[in-house]
Copies of this chain bind each other. A is one copy, B any other.
Amino acid sequence: MKITGFDTFDVRFPTSRQLDGSDAMNPNPDYSAAYLIVKTDAAGPDGDQLAGGVLAGYSYVFTIGRGNDIQLNAIRALEPLVAGLDLDSDLDLGGLSRRLIADSPLRWLGPERGVVHMAIGAVVNACWDLAARRAGLPLWRLLASLTPEQIADLVDFRYLADALTRDEAIGLLERGAEGKAERIKLLERDGFPAYTTTPGWLGYSDEQLAALCRAAVAAGFDQVKLKVGAKLEDDVRRIQIAREAVGDRVAIALDANQVWDVPTAISWMRALARFEPDWIEEPTSPDDILGTAVIRREISPVRVATGEHVANRIVFKQLLQAGAIDVMQIDACRVAGVNENLANLLLAAKFGVPVCPHAGGVGLCELVQHLAMFDYVALSGTTERRFIEWIDHLHEHFVNPAVVRDGRYVAPTAPGASTQMWSRSVAEYSFPDGAAWS
The proximity string for A residues 4-29 relative to B, scoring 1 for CB distances below 8 Å and 0 otherwise, is 00000000000000000000011111
Asked if A264 meets B161 with Cβ closer than 8 Å, knowing A29-B105, A64-B105, the reply is yes
Residues 31-89 of A contacting B (Cβ, < 8 Å): 63-67, 69-71, 73-74, 77
The proximity string for A residues 309-353 relative to B, scoring 1 for CB distances below 8 Å and 0 otherwise, is 101101101100110000000000000000000000000000000
Bound-state Cα–Cα, A255 to B69, Å: 36
A353 to chain B, nearest CB (A): 16
- The reply to whether A290 and B321 form a contact with Cβ atoms under 8 Å apart is yes
A257 to chain B, nearest CB (A): 10
A222 at the interface (CB under 8 A from B): no
Interface centre among A27, A289, A317 (most CB of B within 10 A): A289
- The reply to whether B70 and A162 form a contact with Cβ atoms under 8 Å apart is no
Stretch at the interface among A107-115, A371-379, A397-405, A417-425: A107-115
Stretch at the interface among A170-178, A268-276, A279-287: A279-287
A20 to chain B, nearest CB (A): 15
Specify how many copies of this chain sit in the oligomer: 2
A362 to chain B, nearest CB (A): 12
Residues 103-153 of A contacting B (Cβ, < 8 Å): 103-118
Chain B residues contacting A258 (CB-CB under 8 Å) are: 111
Chain B residues contacting A159 (CB-CB under 8 Å) are: 261-262, 284-285, 288, 291
Interface centre among A104, A287, A315 (most CB of B within 10 A): A287
Bound-state Cα–Cα, A25 to B111, Å: 11
A230 at the interface (CB under 8 A from B): no
Asked if A105 meets B63 with Cβ closer than 8 Å, knowing A287-B315, A314-B288, A322-B290, the reply is yes
Contact of A161 among B66, B117, B261, B290 (CB under 8 A): B261
Bound-state Cα–Cα, A258 to B264, Å: 34
Asked if A287 meets B73 with Cβ closer than 8 Å, knowing A161-B262, A263-B161, the reply is no
Bound-state Cα–Cα, A111 to B291, Å: 16
Bound-state Cα–Cα, A315 to B379, Å: 32
Chain B residues contacting A106 (CB-CB under 8 Å) are: 66-67, 70
A76 to chain B, nearest CB (A): 9
- The reply to whether A113 and B116 form a contact with Cβ atoms under 8 Å apart is no
Contact of A114 among B26, B103, B116, B317 (CB under 8 A): B116
Chain B residues contacting A311 (CB-CB under 8 Å) are: 113, 287, 311
Chain B residues contacting A77 (CB-CB under 8 Å) are: 66-67, 69-70
- The reply to whether A162 and B312 form a contact with Cβ atoms under 8 Å apart is no
A160 at the interface (CB under 8 A from B): yes
A294 at the interface (CB under 8 A from B): yes
A158 at the interface (CB under 8 A from B): yes
Chain B residues contacting A312 (CB-CB under 8 Å) are: 287
- The reply to whether B114 and A109 form a contact with Cβ atoms under 8 Å apart is yes
Majority DSSP secondary structure for residues of A touching B: loop
Contact of A290 among B65, B66, B117, B318 (CB under 8 A): B318
Identify the closest chain B residue to A110 (Cβ): B114
Contact of A108 among B64, B117, B318 (CB under 8 A): B64
Identify the closest chain B residue to A263 (Cβ): B161
- The reply to whether A74 and B70 form a contact with Cβ atoms under 8 Å apart is yes
Bound-state Cα–Cα, A291 to B286, Å: 18
Bound-state Cα–Cα, A63 to B258, Å: 29
A236 to chain B, nearest CB (A): 23
- The reply to whether B287 and A314 form a contact with Cβ atoms under 8 Å apart is yes
- The reply to whether B105 and A285 form a contact with Cβ atoms under 8 Å apart is no
Chain B residues contacting A65 (CB-CB under 8 Å) are: 105
- The reply to whether A63 and B29 form a contact with Cβ atoms under 8 Å apart is no
- The reply to whether B26 and A104 form a contact with Cβ atoms under 8 Å apart is yes
Bound-state Cα–Cα, A69 to B77, Å: 9
Chain B residues contacting A105 (CB-CB under 8 Å) are: 26, 29-30, 63-67
Q: List 26 A-B contacts (CB under 8 A).
A: A25-B104, A29-B104, A29-B105, A63-B109, A64-B105, A64-B108, A65-B105, A66-B106, A67-B77, A67-B106, A67-B116, A69-B77, A70-B70, A70-B74, A109-B118, A110-B114, A114-B117, A159-B261, A161-B261, A285-B314, A287-B314, A287-B315, A288-B317, A290-B318, A290-B322, A291-B314
